[in-house]
Amino acid sequence: SLSHHPPRGVAGIFQSTKKLVLSERAGRGQILEFLRKNAANGLSMANLVAGLASILCSLNRQYSYSCWLLLVGFLLDLADGAVARRLNACSALGAKLDDFADFTTFGLATALLLQPEGVLDGLLVIAYVMAVFSRLCFFSSAGIPFTYRGLPCPYASSLLAGTFLLTGGNVVLLRVTAAVMVLFMVDRGFYPHDKVLESQLWKKVVYAGGVVAILFSPATVASVYCLAWSTSYIVFPFAIWSCKA
């Protein structure tokens, strides 16, 4: 009698093809899930690399490149939290990686811009690094949502990098500015959690303008833009940057 089933060889090929397609789909799903969970970690790693590269530039007295890398780190830091929340990929490991990247970039790398040459200069560098360390490790928002306690260190770093570029590396002015930023960071006054990429459209436009200014504009334009951005947040945190997501 004639069989209504396909020959065994054809059925075997069909089953093998089906398994291959399913396995490929599963593999793609695993890859996409891995990328989703680690997208923010990738941005934190990029921030860390930018900080380490900035340190190397400072050690070689290439301070302009160091400032540019700090400003890139500033953009990366604002993005990684937004990406983690958007993709629902927040984790304890990611938070630790982000803090370590911030300490490296906005603490150690930024402090090297001060170019310490004596005991007093060295103490200022230590004070700046410890202020960043304290700000990252010990300050909390005391249960108040959408706020920081103390000035977030990326804004202090952006201000210092912009000041360095705009003044041509005026070390005296930079050290005075750094001392003021130490006071802002250790003060427990409240600052809004700006959530630039998760709030009003104009904040996203400001971020996009920062990307264009830092990556594609002359150093003077980028420094003025970042100085205005950081100063507006530092001086008028709630009047301008209060989160209304």
Confidence at residue 195, expressed as pLDDT on a 0 to 100 scale = 80
Domains and CATH numbers, the chain: 12-241 (1.20.120)
Model pTM score: 0.83
Would you give per-residue pLDDT tens digits along the chain (245 residues)?
A: 444 555 556 666 666 665 665 566 666 666 666 566 777 788 999 999 999 999 999 999 999 999 999 999 999 999 988 887 787 767 777 788 889 999 999 999 999 999 999 899 999 999 999 999 999 988 766 556 667 888 999 999 999 999 999 999 999 999 999 999 999 999 988 898 878 888 889 999 999 999 999 999 898 999 999 999 999 999 999 888 886 65
Confidence at residue 24, expressed as pLDDT on a 0 to 100 scale = 61
Buried b (16+ CB within 10 A) or exposed e, 208-244: eebeebbeeeebeebbbbbbebbeebbeebeeebebe
Confidence at residue 1, expressed as pLDDT on a 0 to 100 scale = 47
Per-residue H/E/C for the chain? CCCCCCCHHHHHHHHHHHHHHHHHHHHHHHHHHHHHHHHHHHHHHHHHHHHHHHHHHHHCCCHHHHHHHHHHHHHHHHHHHHHHHHCCCCCHHHHHHHHHHHHHHHHHHHHHHHCCCCHHHHHHHHHHHHHHHHHHHCCCCCCCCCEEECCCHHHHHHHHHHHHHHHCCCHHHHHHHHHHHHHHHHCCCEEECCCHHHCCHHHHHHHHHHHHHHHHCCHHHHHHHHHHHHHHHHHCHHHHHCCCC
